[in-house]
């Protein structure tokens, strides 16, 4: 539900669940077949061939990773990018980056708050479903050292834009990490929303923008191991963010 470009609600007032699903599938096809960032595409392919020893029997996905979740979601979770041996291997966002990795950490918090049916995210065939929540990433290809270049973030924003345009009910965005947070506000600027002063990233910071249909944004430390292993982000802190999101959605 973004203001200046309410593609699905305004241009397609007759949208049905089936037509939204079909358009989302088109968006996902465009993401999966994207080759616009040669540096990232080369890296993802190389990782998929080299593999990590623990996953040498796996066939890596090695392509850009689309979003995952409930098309009727009121909660959007925006991460940074696929992990080289996680989503770049499994093909599902926040999936397969090891036991206790960012996928498990995130899913435990979502499960605690009723957004996910299981509390782990290790395999694409694990039966995970999200209710009222959708997960996407600012950048859809795994970047070296988890550091996408600014121009890669800007380029990939087209995919986020297209995907979010199909998620007509989003009321709250939880942005994981500063890159996800800044990417979201870059997208808003594209759509003519320019909050002043410019929101600054912080954990559990809540940003409300003018306009009834502009989603509320909550910042959250990224559940990467460097944050979760050091105690910078604890399970209680992350669950607390989604508890807050739940309250804001219901407001």
Least separation, in Å, of the C-beta of 32 and ligand SF4?
8
Least separation, in Å, of the C-beta of 48 and ligand SF4?
14
**Residues 33-72 close enough to bind ligand SF4 by CB under 6 A:** 34-37, 40-41, 64
Site residue total, ligand SF4 (CB under 6 A):
15
Stretch that binds ligand SF4, among 32-40, 82-90, 210-218, 230-238 (CB under 6 A): 32-40
Q: Which residues pair with 206 in a beta bridge?
A: 218
The residue with tokens 């009723």 is 114
- Strand duo 172-176 + 75-79: pairing: parallel
Least separation, in Å, of the C-beta of 250 and ligand SF4?
34
Stretch that binds ligand SF4, among 46-54, 89-97, 138-146, 210-218 (CB under 6 A): 138-146
Report the alpha-carbon distance of residue 113 to residue 135 in Å, rounded. Answer: 15
Report the alpha-carbon distance of residue 4 to residue 193 in Å, rounded. Answer: 8
The answer to whether the beta carbons of residues 111 and 117 sit under 8 Å apart is yes
Q: Which is nearer to ligand SF4, 42 or 50 (CB)?
A: 42
Asked whether position 232 contacts ligand SF4 by CB under 6 A, the answer is: no
Least separation, in Å, of the C-beta of 82 and ligand SF4?
9
Q: Sign of the C-alpha dihedral, residues 177, 178, 183, 188?
A: positive
Contact with ligand SF4 (CB under 6 A) among 139, 164, 165, 245: 139
Least separation, in Å, of the C-beta of 152 and ligand SF4?
5
The answer to whether the beta carbons of residues 158 and 5 sit under 8 Å apart is no
Q: Sign of the C-alpha dihedral, residues 234, 167, 92, 37?
A: negative
Stretch that binds ligand SF4, among 124-132, 137-145, 171-179, 227-235 (CB under 6 A): 137-145
Asked whether position 31 contacts ligand SF4 by CB under 6 A, the answer is: yes
**Residues 84-113 close enough to bind ligand SF4 by CB under 6 A:** none
**Residues 140-199 close enough to bind ligand SF4 by CB under 6 A:** 140-141, 152, 155-156, 159
Strands, sheet with 75-79, edge to edge from the N-terminal-most edge strand: 68-69, 133-137, 75-79, 172-176, 216-220, 206-207
Output the CA–CA distances (angstroms, integers) from residue 44 to 96, 115, 119, 202, in the order listed: 15, 30, 27, 30
The answer to whether the beta carbons of residues 41 and 63 sit under 8 Å apart is no
Q: Which residues bind ligand SF4 (CB under 6 A)?
A: 31, 34-37, 40-41, 64, 139-141, 152, 155-156, 159
């Amino acid at each position: 539900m973004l203001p200046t470009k309410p593609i699905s609600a305004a241009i397609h007032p007759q949208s049905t669940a089936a037509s939204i699903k079909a358009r989302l599938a088109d968006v996902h096809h465009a993401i999966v077949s994207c080759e616009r960032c040669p540096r990232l595409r080369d890296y993802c392919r190389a990782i998929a061939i080299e593999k990590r020893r623990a996953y040498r029997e796996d066939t890596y996905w090695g392509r850009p990773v689309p979003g995952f979740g409930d098309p009727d979601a009121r909660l959007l979770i925006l991460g940074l990018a696929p992990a080289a041996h996680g989503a770049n291997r499994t093909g599902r966002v926040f999936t397969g980056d090891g036991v206790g990795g960012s996928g498990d950490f995130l899913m435990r918090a979502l499960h605690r708050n009723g957004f996910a049916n299981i509390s782990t995210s290790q395999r694409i065939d694990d039966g995970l479903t999200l209710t009222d929540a959708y997960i996407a990433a600012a950048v859809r290809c795994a970047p070296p050292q988890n550091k996408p270049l600014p121009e890669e973030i800007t380029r990939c924003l087209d995919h986020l834009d297209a995907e979010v345009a199909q998620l007509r009910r989003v009321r709250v965005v939880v942005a994981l990490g500063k890159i996800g947070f800044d990417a979201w506000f870059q997208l808003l600027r594209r759509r003519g929303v320019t909050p002043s002063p410019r929101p600054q990233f912080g954990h559990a910071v809540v940003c409300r923008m003018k306009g009834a249909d502009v989603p509320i944004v909550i910042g959250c430390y990224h559940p990467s191991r460097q944050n979760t292993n050091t105690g910078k982000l604890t399970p209680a802190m992350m669950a607390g963010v989604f508890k807050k999101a739940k309250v804001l959605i219901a407001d």
